[in-house]
């Protein structure tokens, strides 16, 4: 995979080390990990439980830090940023999608989507328009006023995706986005991610345990014992 120097470099991890000290024992999760995810890529990350998939996603999103090594997203060097700077960077550059949706229970679908927009310069009217646009995009234009408790799992995940899309970030990080859904809802969500990647140019990193989810991604990385075993890109993307 070659990248033109003037292009946006996408996501890049170089010599990343990460481990935890539990008692006297040092547990290594990543040892000198290198990874490049070019802009516009859609990567599925698979691997056994505890292999570090969530940790990887969190480091790319600037939620977790490597012990050493470099992480760059676009032109931002995450490992040199302060906590606050990383938060501000994340607010406008990264959309996060969680396995269990993590919607605010007291907020309606629209309010949940509006939440990240409170950190932007948009005024109330502009925020409202943006919320309507993204809710429509995920097919929930008619559920704006519903509370999460009044939505199905698939619908909640659509709200989760709408919230991630609200600030129009370049990168979407999804941690088992279909892990809590039945096959049909899962496929709808995955198809939506595929469209977001293909039509809207979002760079997507998606952790999944679901082999068939990989069909929606451009390529799959298998994480095992702190190393990647890259599968060949699956050419037959689901229609």
Ligand X SMILES: Nc1ncnc2c1ncn2[C@@H]1O[C@H](COP(=O)(O)OP(=O)(O)OP(=O)(O)O)[C@@H](O)[C@H]1O
Which of 103-111, 136-144, 201-209, 231-239 is the region at the interface with other proteins (rule: CB under 8 A)? 103-111
- Identify which of residues 167 and 181 has a Cβ nearer to ligand X in the complex: 181
**Shortest distance in whole angstroms from residue 187 CB to other proteins:** 26
Q: Write the DSSP symbol of residue 142.
A: G
- Identify which of residues 73 and 214 has a Cβ nearer to other proteins in the complex: 73
208 binds ligand X (CB under 6 A): no
- Two structure tokens written together for 180: 């809590």
45 binds ligand X (CB under 6 A): no
**Shortest distance in whole angstroms from residue 122 CB to other proteins:** 12
- Identify which of residues 157 and 220 has a Cβ nearer to other proteins in the complex: 157
157 binds ligand X (CB under 6 A): no
The beta-carbon contacts of 228-236 under 8 Å, at least 24 apart in sequence, are 228/33, 228/35
Is residue 67 within 8 A of residue 15, CB to CB? The reply is no
Instruction: For 50-119, give the DSSP string.
Output: TSSHHHHHHHHTTSS--SEEEEEETTEEGGGS-HHHHHHHHHHHEEEE-TT----TTS-HHHHHHGGGGG
x/- letters, 51..70, toward ligand X (CB under 6 A)? xxxxx---------------
**Shortest distance in whole angstroms from residue 228 CB to Mg ion:** 16
**Shortest distance in whole angstroms from residue 99 CB to ligand X:** 8
Q: Which residues pair with 42 in a beta bridge?
A: 204
β-strand pairing of 25-37 with 171-175? unpaired
Count of CA atoms in the C-beta half-sphere (13 A) of 4? 3
The C-alpha torsion from 121 through 197 and 226 to 210, rounded to 10°, is 120
50 binds ligand X (CB under 6 A): yes
Which residues would be at the binding site for other proteins (CB under 8 A)? Answer: 58, 61, 63-64, 83-84, 87-88, 90-92, 96, 98, 102, 104-107, 111, 114-116, 118-119, 124, 127, 163
Which residues would be at the binding site for Mg ion (CB under 5 A)? Answer: 54
């Amino acid at each position: 995979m070659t990248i033109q120097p003037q292009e946006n470099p996408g996501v890049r991890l170089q010599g990343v080390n990460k481990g935890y000290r539990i008692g006297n024992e040092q547990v290594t999760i990543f040892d000198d990990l290198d990874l490049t995810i070019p802009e516009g890529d859609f990567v599925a990350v698979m691997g056994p439980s505890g292999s570090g998939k969530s940790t990887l996603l969190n480091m790319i999103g600037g939620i977790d830090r490597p012990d050493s090594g470099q992480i760059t997203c676009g032109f931002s060097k995450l490992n040199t940023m302060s906590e606050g700077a990383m938060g501000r960077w994340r607010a406008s550059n990264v959309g996060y999608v969680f396995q269990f949706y993590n919607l605010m229970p007291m907020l309606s679908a629209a309010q949940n989507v509006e939440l990240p927009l409170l950190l932007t310069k948009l005024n109330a009217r502009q925020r409202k328009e943006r919320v309507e646009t993204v809710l429509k995009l995920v097919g929930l234009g008619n559920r704006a006023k519903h509370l999460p408790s009044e939505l199905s799992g698939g619908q909640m995940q659509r709200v989760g995706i709408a919230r991630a899309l609200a600030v129009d970030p370049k990168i979407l990080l999804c941690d088992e986005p279909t892990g809590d859904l039945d096959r049909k809802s899962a496929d709808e969500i995955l198809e939506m991610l595929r469209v977001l990647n293909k039509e809207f140019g979002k760079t997507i990193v998606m952790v999944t345990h679901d082999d068939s989810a990989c069909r929606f991604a451009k390529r799959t990385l298998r994480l095992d014992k702190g190393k990647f075993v890259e599968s060949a890109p699956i050419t037959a993307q689901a229609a």
